[in-house]
Amino acid sequence: MLTWVTIISTALFHFNTARAVHTNLLVVWLLSGFMGAAYYIIPEEAENELVSVKLAYVQLISLAVVGVIAIVGYHFNYWEGRKF
């Protein structure tokens, strides 16, 4: 029995694309969490400030931009057969 969710999900993107996007989002989410934890814990333990907070924001924004570009590339089938 087909439901609206299965009809919409199969019409929007294929399973292989959804799997690659899901894996990519998992990796980006974990990396951003580890980076945030490192930027919080290391200065606390070292009792020293970060050298450049702006550089940390640049790194976070660049990670988010690369993640979005990768997801858009998956949806336009621009990944040349490589999943990750």
Is 7 within the bounds of a domain? no
Structural domain containing residue 30: 14-75
**Tokens found for residue 11:** 């019409």
Structural domain contains residue 24:
yes
Count of domains for the chain: 1
What digits encode the pLDDT tens for the residues 18-57? 787 888 889 888 989 999 899 899 889 999 988 888 998 9
Of residues 67, 76, 80, 79, the one with CA closest to residue 22: 67
Q: Quote the pLDDT of residue 9.
A: 57
* E strands present in 1-84: none
Predicted local confidence at residue 15, as pLDDT: 74
For residue 57 the two structure tokens come to 């924001």
pTM of model > 0.75: no
**Residue of higher predicted confidence among 76 and 69:** 69
Q: Is 8 contained in some domain?
A: no
